[in-house]
């Protein structure tokens, strides 16, 4: 459809783009990325014929760009620039109708029913029909952008060039516009070439990405190959991290802000002093958010949290929506569910056990409450009927260190293994099967890390962190089980 071959050019003086080649197939959604000044807009201007190129060839449908008359070209390529100026107050429909210019023939260029149909169709598609008689100067930036999109579509182009089309749009219009472009490219075979500022949007919607660096092609490949942490960091010269998108298989890049001097110098840590024991409630307040991975009732999964609650509820606690009830409870006692990891237990929380361990460069604080009334042998759990009662062994591990994702997962494994060993040593039995239990039916665990100080890459059982976590969870669990059993005997 479009082929760029060794093109060099730009404004007077030094060329902005150097020796660039790429091909775009029909129906592709092709994204152009690059830092400011890397030549994105220059390329787009060359493709639309506004800016002549010094050397190389631009072929459109196999024919050299310079061999097209402006009208012929306008029937193939339409452009939606970043800014469209409007000096006079044309109506929306007049503005869109201008897009039919190239299709009108003869001296008087009469308006045909086909033109009228096309204009009405594109106004419908872009959702601007209802304000077609408005003055474009009265519209908001987003609405105006849609009017100019309709104008471009009225050209009935085969290729649509866009320069940061989502620039002035709020979130919902960004998505709407890109969804539309995606549909048109897939269903109608429209070839879309667009400059993107937002790497994440580009990654979500584009079939292929061209990454420019200093006017040269860095890479031209599928989004997953282009959006690699190392590459983006190098080209954009900034700190970013890559994450998986929660719903679709597309990479997402996030910026990492620079910490202020004061913040990075004062290394704070979590220890005994942060824990408050109230009636029926353990509260640990962190002075700053911790990165957590947990199976709590609120704040479960991965996130950043500041408040950690372990709440005693009666053994007969039964609630159809325990998550909502817990969130209400958190709010009631004056915390925000959005920054709180909350757990429940039928155990009296005064029987908690906590220990602080220091290992040179890092430290770990473990808090456990344990009751073994619902003890289960995981290997024989099919003998149990499913019934959700409040969790009875709740394990918190606070790490004063900087953990990788792997370390978080290994922490969970190590802690779980240590807990199982504690139950074994205490000879806690599964009441149904009569075998040694491995845990209880509703245990919860949370690993929280300050993400400051020592980098801890792994937390397997024989790594320095793993050793401390294993030991701590074992000791605390044993102590907590003993405490709660003592209370039962009394």
- Residues forming the site for other proteins (CB under 8 A): 48-50, 69-71, 73-75, 77-79, 81, 84-91, 94-95, 98-99, 101-102, 104, 107, 109-113, 116, 137, 151-152, 155
Choose between 7 and 160: whose C-beta lies nearer to other proteins: 160
Choose between 14 and 262: whose C-beta lies nearer to other proteins: 14
Taking the CA atoms of 238, 239, 242 and 246 in sequence, report the sign of the dihedral they define: negative
Beta carbons of 96 and 147 less than 8 angstroms apart: yes
Q: What is the DSSP string of 199-255?
A: HHHHHHH-SEEEEEETTEEEEEE-HHHH--HHHHHHHHTS-EEEEE-SSSS-EEEEE
Q: 358: which strand partners?
A: 363
Distance CA(211)–CA(221), nearest Å, equals: 9
Phi, psi of 59 (to 5 degrees): -105, 130
Q: Give min distance, CB of 68 to other proteins, in A.
A: 10
Choose between 113 and 172: whose C-beta lies nearer to other proteins: 113
Choose between 116 and 328: whose C-beta lies nearer to other proteins: 116
Distance CA(65)–CA(420), nearest Å, equals: 72
Choose between 72 and 358: whose C-beta lies nearer to other proteins: 72
Distance CA(113)–CA(116), nearest Å, equals: 5
Q: Give min distance, CB of 288 to other proteins, in A.
A: 45
Q: Give min distance, CB of 103 to other proteins, in A.
A: 9
Choose between 119 and 204: whose C-beta lies nearer to other proteins: 119
Q: Give min distance, CB of 160 to other proteins, in A.
A: 11
- Which candidate, 117, 114, 144, places its Cα nearest to that of 131? 144
Q: Give min distance, CB of 151 to other proteins, in A.
A: 8
Q: Give min distance, CB of 176 to other proteins, in A.
A: 23
Choose between 85 and 172: whose C-beta lies nearer to other proteins: 85
Q: Give min distance, CB of 109 to other proteins, in A.
A: 6
Beta carbons of 306 and 289 less than 8 angstroms apart: yes
Q: How far is CA 330 from CA 280, 358, 398, in A?
A: 13, 31, 21
């Amino acid at each position: 459809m479009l082929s760029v071959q060794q093109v060099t050019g730009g404004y007077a003086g030094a060329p902005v783009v150097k020796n660039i080649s790429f091909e775009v197939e029909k129906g592709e959604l092709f994204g152009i990325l690059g830092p400011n000044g890397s030549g994105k807009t220059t390329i787009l201007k060359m493709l639309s014929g506004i800016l002549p190129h010094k050397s190389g060839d631009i072929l459109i449908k196999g024919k050299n760009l310079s061999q097209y008359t402006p009208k012929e070209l306008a029937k193939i390529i339409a452009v939606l620039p970043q800014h469209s100026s409007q000096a006079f107050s044309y109506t929306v429909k007049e503005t869109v109708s201008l897009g039919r210019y190239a299709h009108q023939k003869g001296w008087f260029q009469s308006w045909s029913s086909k033109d009228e149909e096309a204009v009405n169709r594109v106004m419908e598609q872009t959702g601007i029909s209802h304000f077609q008689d408005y003055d474009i100067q009265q519209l908001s930036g987003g609405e105006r952008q849609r009017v100019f999109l309709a104008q471009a579509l009225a050209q009935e182009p085969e290729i649509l060039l866009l320069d940061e089309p989502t620039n002035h749009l709020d979130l919902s219009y960004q998505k709407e516009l890109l969804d539309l472009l995606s549909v048109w490219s897939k269903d109608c075979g429209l070839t879309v070439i667009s400059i993107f500022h937002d790497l994440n949007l580009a990654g979500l919607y584009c079939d292929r990405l061209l990454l420019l660096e200093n006017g040269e092609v860095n890479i031209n490949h599928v989004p997953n190959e282009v959006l690699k942490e190392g590459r983006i960091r190098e080209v954009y010269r900034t700190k970013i991290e890559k994450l998986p998108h929660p719903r679709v298989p597309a990479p997402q890049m996030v910026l990492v802000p620079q910490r202020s001097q004061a913040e990075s110098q004062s290394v704070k840590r979590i220890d005994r002093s942060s824990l408050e024991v109230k009636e029926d409630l353990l509260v640990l307040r962190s002075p700053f958010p911790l990165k957590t991975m947990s199976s709590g009732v609120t704040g479960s999964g991965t996130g950043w949290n500041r408040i950690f609650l372990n709440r005693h509820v009666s053994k007969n606690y039964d609630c159809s929506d325990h998550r909502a009830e817990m969130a209400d409870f958190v709010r009631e006692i004056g915390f925000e569910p959005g920054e709180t990891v909350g757990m429940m237990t039928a155990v009296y929380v005064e029987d908690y056990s906590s220990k602080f361990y220091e290992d040179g460069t890092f430290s770990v604080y473990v808090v456990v409450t344990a009751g073994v009334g619902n003890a289960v042998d995981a290997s024989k759990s099919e003998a149990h009927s499913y019934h959700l009662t409040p969790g009875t062994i709740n394990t918190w591990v606070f790490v004063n260190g900087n953990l990788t994702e792997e370390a978080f997962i290994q922490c969970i494994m190590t802690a779980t293994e240590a807990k199982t060993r504690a139950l074994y040593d205490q000879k806690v039995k599964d009441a149904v099967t009569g075998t040694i239990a491995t845990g209880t039916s509703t245990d919860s665990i949370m690993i929280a890390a300050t993400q400051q100080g020592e980098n801890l890459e792994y937390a397997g059982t024989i790594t320095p962190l793993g050793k401390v976590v294993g030991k701590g969870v074992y000791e605390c669990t044993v102590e907590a089980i003993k405490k709660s059993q003592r209370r039962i005997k009394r």
